Amino acid sequence: MPLSPIVRFGGGPRIDALRNELREWLAANLPDEFRRTAANPDYWPREGHERAVEFCQALHERGWFVPHWPAEFEGGGLGIVEQVVIREELAYAGAPVVNTNGVNMLAPVLFRFGTPEQQAEHLPKIARSERMWAQGYSEPEAGSDLAALRMTARRDGDDYILDGQKTWTSNGVLADWIFVLARTTPLGEKRQAGISFFLVDLDSPGITRRPIRSMTGYPTFAEEFFDGVRVPAANLVGGEGDGWKVAKALLVAERSNVTRAAQAQRYLDELVDWCHAQRGSSHDPLADPANRLALAHAVERVEVGRALSYRVAHQQAAGALDPALPSLSKLYHSELTAELRQLGATLLGPAGALMPDDPDAVLHGHFSEGLLLSLLHTIGGGTSEIQRDLISTTGLGLPR
């Protein structure tokens, strides 16, 4: 089914032609195994992840994997409008986009803070899906309170020596490299000071990696132990002690959430189509007025979410982003995702609890698996509570 929102971003013959070209290419080239999954391909078993990498490399050959990057870094040389349109269509189709930590988080930071050498070394490999990245922020006693981190980095000649632990590391199982925050000066009165941002090869001596299996069965996260790990000083991004500034920029980058908005539309469309197919059966959800009202409310919520994503993208394109808007978008889509998955599981009845590998699963297990995954979205990348705090202080000017 094509994406047919009430409100649409972009427009005109050129953008319409881009949408149609991409849809035709996806119809011919997107493998069926990717059309019906709710999971992030960075969390799949290695074989499935490698097939997703091959698909993204084919996207790259068309200039559609990182369409808004400059051509010198193997991007498509297009604008933010084209990037939003492409990401929206890919997400709605169910296309896997690997290495989100590298593409959506690290790359914008390297464009802004990276040295020419760092950009030349890492950006083309991210564009070609040749180097997978993990995010090394959280620690056993520093999650939402990130400034409490304890990993240390001590200068020793041309290197820094890193000691400490990271946990709940996104894409920590399959990644080749990791970007980490570490203390280069002791914890002081201003806790955000003295933190630095490093790029680390996960094959470096002294790193031990352990997978963490989630409720879905995927080894979604990992934990890493750093024991005297030598990292070249050339891998420091920004100046020493500038890590908090770099980290904040990273968390804001690419938070239009247009991908999540398109996925929400896909879930809703599939659920509505399934409900219509049940008309007159013994399990007809639409026979209950409460269910019809819930679906109507979901339509409203999805449209608002897409409009919010478009607003973030529009401001990004104009270079005038409201600093509270990314947090608002992140919060909204985290909770919308959970609401839709819960609605789907409710309407599908007992079969809605079956996981994708069950032959009797309804709608390929989207809603059962998705309901478990939706819990991650309210925590990862900044909890919903943290987003509310940022909205109140940054957006509304309320005291801390």
For residue 116, count CB atoms less than 10 angstroms from its CB and return exposed for 0-12, middle for 13-18, buried for 19 or more.
exposed
What pLDDT sits at residue 293?
96
Three-state DSSP at 288 gives: coil
180: left (phi > 0), else alpha (psi -120 to 50), else beta? beta
In tens, the pLDDT along 40-69 reads 787 778 888 999 999 999 999 999 999 999
Cβ-contact 256, 333 below 8 angstroms = no
Cα 71 from chain centroid? 24
How far is Cα 219 from Cα 174, in angstroms, rounded to an integer? 10
Domain 255-395 indexed as CATH 1.20.140.10: yes
CB atoms within 10 A of CB 48: 16
Cβ-contact 126, 66 below 8 angstroms = yes
Asked whether the predicted pLDDT for residue 188 surpasses 70, the reply is: no
Dihedrals phi, psi of 180, to nearest 5 degrees: -130, 155
What pLDDT sits at residue 189?
62
CA dist 3 to 146, 192, 267, 304, Å?
Answer: 38, 43, 12, 16
Asked whether the predicted pLDDT for residue 358 surpasses 80, the reply is: yes
What pLDDT sits at residue 3?
58
Fold match between domain 12-98 and domain 255-395 = no
Catalogue the active-site residues. Answer: 254
What sign for the dihedral angle of Cα 392, 394, 399, 400? positive
Which of 397, 294, 352 has its CA nearest to residue 38? 352
Instruction: State both tokens at 22.
Output: 């991409």
Three-state DSSP at 153 gives: strand
What pLDDT sits at residue 361?
83
What pLDDT sits at residue 391?
83
Question: Average of pLDDT values for 5-32?
Answer: 84
Least confident of 3-12, 20-29, 180-189, 200-209: 3-12
Produce one character per residue of 253-273: b if its CB has 16 or more CB atoms within 10 Å, e if not.
Answer: bbbbbbbbbbbbbbbbbbbee
Say what the pTM is: 0.89
Question: Average of pLDDT values for 90-95?
Answer: 92
Instruction: State both tokens at 165.
Output: 């632990």
State the average pLDDT for the chain. 88
How far is Cα 145 from Cα 161, in angstroms, rounded to an integer? 24
Question: Average of pLDDT values for 148-173?
Answer: 94
In tens, the pLDDT along 234-243 reads 999 999 999 9
Asked whether the predicted pLDDT for residue 269 surpasses 90, the reply is: yes
What pLDDT sits at residue 38?
63
Residues with Cβ < 8 Å from 247, sequence gap 6 or more? 137, 146, 181, 195, 197
The pLDDT-based confidence of 300 (bands split at 50, 70, 90) is very high
Per DSSP, which regions of the chain are E strands? 133-136, 152-156, 159-170, 177-183, 195-201, 207-212, 221-232, 236-237
| Residue whose token pair is 């309170």 | 145
In tens, the pLDDT along 303-316 reads 999 999 988 888 87
Spans of all domains in the chain = 12-98, 133-242, 255-395
Asked whether the predicted pLDDT for residue 376 surpasses 80, the reply is: no
What pLDDT sits at residue 10?
67
Three-state DSSP at 142 gives: strand
What pLDDT sits at residue 71?
93
CB atoms within 10 A of CB 368: 25
Cβ-contact 238, 245 below 8 angstroms = yes
Residues 133-242: name the CATH superfamily. Answer: Butyryl-CoA Dehydrogenase, subunit A, domain 2 (2.40.110.10)
Instruction: State both tokens at 141.
Output: 């006693």
Instruction: State both tokens at 167.
Output: 């946990």
Architecture of the domain delimited by 12-98 = Orthogonal Bundle (1.10)
What pLDDT sits at residue 204?
98
How far is Cα 137 from Cα 154, in angstroms, rounded to an integer? 18
Q: What is the per-residue DSSP string for 67-135?
A: TTS-GGGT-----HHHHHHHHHHHHHHT-----HIIIIIIHHHHHHH--HHHHHHHHHHHHTT-S-EEE
What pLDDT sits at residue 238?
95
